Structure 1
Amino acid sequence: MPTRSTTPDATAATLAASLLLVSACASANPPGRDNAARPVLTPITPCATLTGLVLPVSAIDLPTSGATITSATLVAATPEIVGTSAVTHAVPEHCSILGSIHPVDPAAPPINFQVNVPTQWNQKTIQVGGGGLNGSIPRNLAVVASSGSPISAAFPPDAEYPISRGYAMFGGDSGHQDPSNNATWALNAEAWQNFGHAALKKTHDAAFAVIRTLYGKKPKLSYFMGQSQGGREAMEVAQRYPKDYDGVVATAPLIGYTAHVVHKTLLATVQTGAGWIAPAKYGAVAAEVMRQCDALDGLSDGVISNYPGCAARFDPLKVAQPFAAIRCAGGADTGNTCVSDAQIATLNQMHAPTSFGYPLANGWTTFPGYGVGREAFSGWLTIAPQPSPATQPALGQPGATLNYGILKDPSFNLVHFDVATFANQVQAASAVIDSTNPDLSAFFAHGGRLIIKTQSSDYSSNPHTVMKYYDALVSKFGQAKVDRHVRLYVLANGDHGGSGQSTTTGEALPQFVDLVTMSTDWVENGATPPDAPELSAKLRLPPYTTLATRPLCRYPLFPRYAGGDVKLAGSFRCSVD
């Protein structure tokens, strides 16, 4: 059974100089591991005969009571459909298989899963992560939406679906059947462990067993791709089950998930009183951020591309009074064009690191502060109306996770939550659900390739935790080895879903990038991903006209305007200052 080591994280020095060298002189591409002559397979067993198939306990490495295939249906190929606002691309004939993995504890929910295998199978698989608190099978196991997709929130509208390229697609509900923010299932120890990581391995093993029954061979190459919670899961499998995956794509990953929900709780509780920032004040906060940061990237366009420089200006540990220019006279709340001292304290709570005073999993003791850049848009503080001190703060997913998963006390009023008091519970949860282990030795030795993409203005998944994790990788392995196996890209001023827009013009930012192909090309053809792949903004209908492009820079670089047409990626350079 795979084990997880606990290596304390290290504070890494800036990577700017080394990455500039890497950009100029990349290491040689490793040979691809795919065999171009490998035949495409057709089933040796009719799809429908899999219904009722029982998988023994031995088919799954982690403890279960076996699994059952509840249905298997041969789905006919469908042609491309051009809708009024988007295109549903052609999908090949495939066997759609539904199954249930039975728990050891009779009180625990089962793990429901689905496998979609094209009749003409290329002997490769992609496991898709979930979203939110999971509770349902991922929707994109055949058709991949170009917005909100667990594979990639920025999946290009003109890109072919992976299943159409021959990949078998599968995913599960992580071991509970409730897609809402109600986490009552987390009171069960097996269900909580499944949500944390175990269901990923169990689903992988069950899917492989089904595919082997259908085709007579196990997959030759295996991928995992996920967004948000699915991004955390992508990081989990690289850390906990490294030999099972050749390529992993994690977008907006919720690593440090325990600290994330604790921070959201603390941010909510300080707003039950005078620290609440009403939506009517967002414009004033946004204007001040833009005043200080818009031009830091060489272009005043309502887009904050220099995310490191801007975040530093609003870190209260680096700047004594970041919001002094919009402080209300006397510090009291005197209107929507300024912020009071209590509201400034809330802003500082958001942008300063949170110290736990004790180690979480893998030695992490702090949760980094959030960045800036989308204060003018909804989904910033996400606390409206004002939470009441007499009731639970309106926290949704973070609150449910804290009450049911971490504290195991549904009735506890989170207004009274204290980091020190609940140290034992926080540490126990962190060991289960925090994908922060920088020891990727086994994944690297296996030849694994990891692509991570985060957004600098993401307030639902803190990008600074991802940057901190990457720094720890470099500190442990050195830049050269990390470069052979990992890419971290940062979408400047992007939100959690991977999109963004100008504060001044409302124009959408370039966001589309085919991370699926980047990952498979790296693993199968030895094509090292570029240091600055091109992002595009394009229409969602044929001929998919490109409206603008920009570079997607590797961390810690950002796109600096160098002159020329602002709608062309060639007018920008990935820079450190």
Structure 2
Amino acid sequence: MKTFTTTPTRPLTLAAAMAALLAGCGTAPRALLLPQLAAATPATLQACSNLASSLALPDTRITSSELVAAGPITVQGNTTQAPAHCLVKGKMKERTGPVDGASYAIGFEMRLPQNWNGRFLHQANGGLDGSVVTALGAVSGAAPVAPGLVQGFAVLSSDAGHAAPTPFFGLDPQARLDYGYQAVGTLTPMAKNLIKSAYGKAPDRSYIAGCSNGGRHAMVAASRYAEQYDGVLAGNPGFSLPKAATAQLWKAQQYAKVSTPGANSQPDLSTAVTPAEFKLIGNQIVARCDALDGATDGQVNDVKACQTTFNLQTDVPSCTGARDGSCLTPAQKTVLASIFAGPKNSKGEALYPGTWFDPGVAGRNFAFWHFNAPATRDAGAVAFLFTTPPSTMEAFKATTGLQFAMNFSMETDYPKMFATSGPYAEPSWSYMTPPNAADLGTLKNRGAKMMVYHGVADGVFSPIDTANWMDRVQANHGGKADDFARLFLVPGMNHCSGGPAADQFDMLAPLVAWVEQGKAPDSVTANARGAGAKVVNAELPASWSANRTRPLCVYPKVARYNGTGDVESASSFSCK
């Protein structure tokens, strides 16, 4: 008989659980219906330098394994004191692509701490993958203060099956599938076997976490590999990535309508809305929506209420003369209203959700995704990864990224993400997205947990898309999804970090506490990165305390001021 447990040491049979539910007033906690997973137990590293010569794993070549002394590791300008650990590097599934003749493999590294907490962390990386970044386990919040390796996890990082962060691997059918989901499925059992060889036991608990495309990897794992992972942490997840990338090209077309020509006669998208004009919009959003959460503190927590309170047409001054940063032209307002609403086809059907008006629209990262990314990132991704069949190298190089964006048709090209062709037997929409994303039954039924966070001012992946997903999950699971999956919106935050936001937080430790101790996180405390922080956020308003903290609340709750107390302190706010 399958057993359920309320604690790791007190088994509760299914019959007893049902009796408890029926006893008394019948108000037993819903959590009794779900298994409680036992906590991981620590172990000490037993093998390292000999792993390369002694370990035999299917389709795997260990290229090096060496001990690394405790000391600093710097990743993207953020230095962390890492514990002593074993660094293992290798490759899986080495092959030659049948279409382009290029060499392919799933490259990886693992960092195995000397003093291990018994847990495995799959660090899902962002962007187009294509490089094995340091397996530090920095998987949540900006300039994380407690990455997974520091917390004692054995951490895996990979390139997801191709060796360069460019989209041209989309010519190879298998590389497409590896990027979409199969690399995770291939790496997971290998990593667990390697951990067993290094410590003498397999991991007690396994987690997968990442932001952006890493958040997408995590979302896909929650659907495809729920039996393999006990905890899933997905940040700013691009789980509808093909649609989001095509929406980026559509945005470029809209901004081109109010852009001035650049030196090459192509539209200079950055002239469509200047930094001063985005700052104006952000300031007007604050003016209208700041007090909706009960505190006038330069921060908008009640983002949904703000969407009906703030009106772009009437709350932002209209230009009667030249543009000088103090107004917007009617044409600019028309374009911005369309972009924030999201793309539609000629039938009026929504093709991808828009985004919310939030003070974070003034963030530099927001502008990057609107003006720079369509030509430099999204054009290539759409051409080679999200269009079937993919573009040829010759055709793509015959134009520019911006020209590709300008020529992209939401009527005839957009549907190609759902197409198959010859060796490309699986559509990009299928291999990139979680199958039936609203059904987390497998994850739920085995006692696993999922936490998702999303910056409200994400310039590329719609936070509305993620909120709508959470609504569907709740509906699909009878309004009880909070028992195993929770979403946290981060006001002001751009894509994974940045913007006028308290964007430094650790969601990995709360996820572990939820999975292994049953402590469901009602909120997560986030810090602003003001003066004195390890990596200072230069976009914080001058009126904020450098040490501002805020509670990030479980969607759809909002952090509201209690009416008394320091407005710079999370303790003065409650999730309601």
Match of 1:230 in 2: 214
Aligned partners of 1:476 and 1:81: how far apart in 2?
43
Equivalent residues of 2:248, 2:370 under 8 A apart: no
Quick one: structure 1 residues 80 and 285, their matched pair in 2 at CA, closer, same or farther if it must change by over 3 Å?
A: closer
CA–CA separation in structure 1 for the residues paired with 2:90 and 2:108: 6
Say whether residues 1:311 and 2:307 are aligned partners.
yes
For the pair 1:40 / 2:32, whether they are aligned, the reply is no
SS where residue 222 of structure 1 aligns? strand
Structure-2 residue corresponding to 1:422? 413
1:72 pairs, out of 56, 62, 65, with 65
Matched residue, 2:182: 198
Q: Does 1:110 align with 2:105?
A: yes
Post-superposition CA distance 1:442-498 (Å, at most 9, x none)? 111222100111111121322111101100101111222x11111111111222233
Counterparts of residues 484-499 of structure 1 (less than 5 Å): 484-499=483-498
Q: State the alpha-carbon separation in 2 of the partners of residues 79 and 73 from structure 1.
A: 15
Q: Partner residue of 1:370?
A: 355
| Distance in 1 between residues matched to 2:149 and 2:483, nearest whole Å | 28
Contact 1:491 1:498 in 2 (8 A): no
- Which of 286, 297, 302 aligns to 1:301? It is 297
> What pairs with 1:30-429 in structure 2 (closer than 5 Å)?
32-35=36-39, 38=41, 40-43=43-46, 45-51=47-53, 53-56=55-58, 66-76=59-69, 78-79=70-71, 88-103=80-95, 105=97, 107=101, 109-139=104-134, 141-142=135-136, 149=138, 151-154=139-142, 156-157=144-145, 159=146, 161-179=147-165, 182-274=166-258, 276-313=272-309, 322-323=313-314, 325-329=316-320, 335-355=324-344, 366-372=351-357, 373-382=359-368, 394-407=374-387, 408-409=390-391, 410=396, 413-427=404-418, 428-429=427-428
Q: 1:469 to 1:358 in 2, by over 3 A?
A: farther
Contact persistence 1:399–1:414 (CA under 8 A): yes
Q: CA RMSD in A?
A: 3.3
Cα offsets for 1:285-313 (capped at 9, x unmatched): 33332332233223333222221112344
SS at match of 1:211: helix
TM-score (norm 2): 0.78
Tell me: CA distance 1:120–1:237, structure 2 relative to 1, closer, same or farther (3 Å). same
Distance 2:179 2:326 in 1: 44
Q: How does 1:435-454 map to 2 (within 5 A)?
A: 435=434, 437-454=437-454
Compare relative contact order (CA 8 Å, sep 6+) and give the higher one, 1 or 2.
1
Q: Distance in 1 between matches of 2:277 and 2:173?
A: 43
Q: Which residue of 2 aligns with 1:553?
A: 553
More deviation, 111-120/471-480: 111-120
Aligned residue number for residue 524 of structure 2: 533
Q: Distance in 2 between matches of 1:39 and 1:325?
A: 57
TM superposition shift of 1:328: 3.0
Q: Give the CA deviation at 1:31.
A: 6.8
88 and 166 in structure 1: CA distance in 2 versus 1, 3 angstrom threshold: closer
- The question of whether the paired residues in 2 share the 8 Å contact of 1:288 and 1:323 is answered with no
Which segments of 5 or more consecutive residues in structure 2 lack a partner in the other structure? 1-27, 260-271, 419-426, 535-544
Question: Take 1:163 and 1:286, find their aligned partners in 2: how far apart are those partners?
Answer: 38
Tell me the distance in 2 between the aligned counterparts of 1:546 and 1:341. Answer: 38
- Whichever residue aligns with residue 380 of structure 2, its letter is A
Asked whether the equivalents of residues 208 and 231 of structure 2 are also in contact (C-alpha less than 8 Å), the reply is yes
| Number of equivalent positions | 499
Distance in 2 between the 1:447 and 1:101 partners? 32
Q: Which residue of 1 aligns with 2:431?
A: 432
Change (3 A) 1:96 1:200: same
Q: Structure 1 stretches (4+) deviating beyond 6 angstroms? A: none
CA shift, 1:244, in A, is 0.7
Cα distance in 1, alignment partners of residues 412 and 301 from structure 2: 40
Quote the offset at 1:110 in angstroms: 1.1
**Contact 2:444–2:484 at 8 Å: present in 1 too?**
yes
Question: Which residue of 2 is the match for residue 9 of structure 1?
Answer: none
The residue type paired with residue 292 of structure 2 is L
TM-superposed CA distance for 1:325, in Å, is: 4.4
State the AA in 2 paired with 1:493: G
State the Cα distance separating 1:228 from its structure 2 match: 1.3
Measured at CA, do residues 454 and 285 of structure 1 come closer, stay the same or move farther in structure 2, by a change above 3 Å? same
Does the CA-based 8 Å contact 2:455-2:463 persist in structure 1?
Answer: yes
